[in-house]
């Protein structure tokens, strides 16, 4: 006997629209700051915001697809669409980094003075505050709803905040010291920082597409919970976990005496699943009941890859 519990997908596209609106405003602000100052550092900052806008549109599409219910062609839903969004965002970050590094090298070769520093820095500060506030909203929502797309978008925006901060410091120091090469040097550092962020996003996306298991501490907590239901009569094996977008899955085999009635085994299975629901919100659970006396009950799982329950 096999049972499966599932939950309806959540529509998180409102957060993507918030990210899109923020990207449009910050592009306008940062482009204005670059136009007034001529700083390649501020230009690199504006370029990253353009990437933010493209990534936000990709996130919107991914979240819409992920929110679709299961259908005949996708019986397990569409939640993995979120990982494609994070992967695209990671690649877009690399594109921004290349653009920034090329512009910085060109400015190192052909230095140019920075003008209207005060106004330019003030505009960039406004853009950084706006990005920081939205980044916090996206990160909280992403962790609450376990959305890889929102977490990736939030991390990207937060990286943008740190990027803007570094650029602001660099431009200010250029204005104070009049050492022009400092501006493209800051832009180069921004490019390197963006590359690191892009690599992290790509790594996380690949892990999700490969059905990565839950974090180790949560796996241990789940194994401890399952042990509370074992006894001389009852055992549990083939305990597995995985994540797919904002969905998280648990699978286990429940071994009970062959003399038990279907109702007895079902009631115990329901108790276990309710306990998992209470401890880990929004988990999709698959369970399989087997007679513990039957040797075939022990030949349909790999003990080396399942979580230990004893």
Q: Model confidence over 238-294: pLDDT tens digits?
A: 899 987 766 788 999 999 999 999 999 999 999 999 999 899 877 889 999 999 999
* Confidence category of residue 75, pLDDT binned at 50, 70, 90: low
Average per-residue pLDDT for the chain: 80
Q: Which of 210, 212, 95, 107 is nearest to 156 (CA)?
A: 95
CB atoms near residue 244 (< 10 Å): 23
Query: Tokens 């104070």 correspond to what residue?
Result: 176
- What is the CATH code of the structural domain delimited by 9-209? 1.20.1510.10
Mean pLDDT of 23-33: 88
The pTM score is 0.58
In the chain, where the domains are located: 9-209, 216-298
Query: Span 88-96, mean pLDDT?
Result: 73
Those residues whose C-beta lies under 8 Å from the C-beta of residue 210, and which sit 6 or more positions away, are none
What is the model's pLDDT at position 134? Answer: 92
Question: Any idea what DSSP says for residue 195?
Answer: H
pLDDT at 10: 62
pLDDT confidence band for 2 (50 / 70 / 90): very low
pLDDT at 84 over 90: no
Q: Do domains 9-209 and 216-298 have the same CATH topology?
A: no
Over 70: is that where the pLDDT of 129 sits?
A: yes
* Range of lowest pLDDT (170-179, 197-206, 277-286, 290-299): 197-206
Q: What is the mean pLDDT of residues 103-119?
A: 75
> Is residue 225's pLDDT more than 90?
yes
Q: What is the pLDDT of residue 3?
A: 47
Among 305, 251, 255, 253, CA closest to 283:
251
Q: How confident is the model at residue 34 (pLDDT cuts 50, 70, 90)?
A: confident
Q: Dump pLDDT digits (tens) for 236-251.
A: 998 999 877 667 889 9
Level-2 CATH architecture, domain 216-298: 2-Layer Sandwich (3.30)
User: If you average pLDDT over residues 129-145, what whole number do you get?
Assistant: 88
How far are the Cα atoms of 114, 117, 183, 188 from residue 104, in angstroms, in the given order? 14, 18, 8, 6
Quickly state the pLDDT bin for 166 (edges 50, 70, 90).
confident
Residue 5 has pLDDT above 60, yes or no: no
- Cα–Cα separations (whole angstroms), residue 118 to 34, 40, 166, 230, 306: 12, 16, 16, 68, 60
Buried b (16+ CB within 10 A) or exposed e, 169-197: ebbeebbeeeeeebbbbbbbbbbebbbeb
Percent of the chain clearing pLDDT 90 (strictly above): 22
pLDDT above 70 as % of the chain: 88
């Amino acid at each position: 006997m096999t049972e499966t519990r599932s939950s309806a997908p959540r529509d998180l596209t409102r957060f993507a629209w918030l990210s899109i609106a923020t990207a449009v405003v910050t592009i306008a602000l940062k482009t204005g700051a670059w136009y007034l100052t001529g700083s390649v550092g501020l230009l690199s900052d504006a370029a990253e915001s353009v990437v933010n806008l493209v990534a936000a549109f990709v996130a919107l599409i991914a979240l819409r697809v992920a929110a679709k219910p299961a259908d005949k062609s996708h019986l397990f839903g569409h939640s993995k669409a979120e990982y494609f969004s994070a992967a695209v965002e990671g690649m877009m970050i690399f594109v921004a980094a290349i653009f920034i590094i090329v512009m910085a090298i060109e400015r190192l070769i052909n230095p140019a003075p920075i003008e209207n520093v005060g106004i330019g820095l003030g505009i960039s500060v406004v853009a950084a505050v706006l990005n920081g506030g939205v980044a916090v909203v996206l990160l909280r929502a992403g962790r609450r709803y376990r959305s890889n797309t929102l977490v990736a978008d939030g991390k990207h925006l937060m990286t943008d905040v740190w990027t803007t901060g570094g650029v602001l410091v660099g431009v200010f120091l250029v204005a104070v010291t009049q050492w022009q090469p400092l501006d493209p040097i800051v832009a180069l550092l921004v490019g390197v920082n963006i590359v690191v962020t892009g690599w992290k996003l790509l790594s996380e996306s690949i892990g999700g597409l490969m059905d990565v298991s839950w974090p180790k501490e949560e796996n241990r907590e789940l194994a401890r919970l399952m042990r509370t239901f074992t006894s001389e009569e009852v055992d549990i094996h083939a305990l597995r976990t995985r994540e797919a977008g904002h969905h998280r899955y648990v699978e286990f085999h429940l071994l009970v005496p062959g003399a038990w009635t279907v109702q007895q085994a079902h009631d115990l299975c329901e108790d276990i699943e309710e306990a998992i629901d209470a401890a880990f919100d929004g988990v999709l659970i698959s369970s399989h009941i087997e007679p513990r006396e039957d040797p075939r009950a022990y030949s349909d799982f790999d003990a080396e890859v399942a979580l230990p329950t004893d």
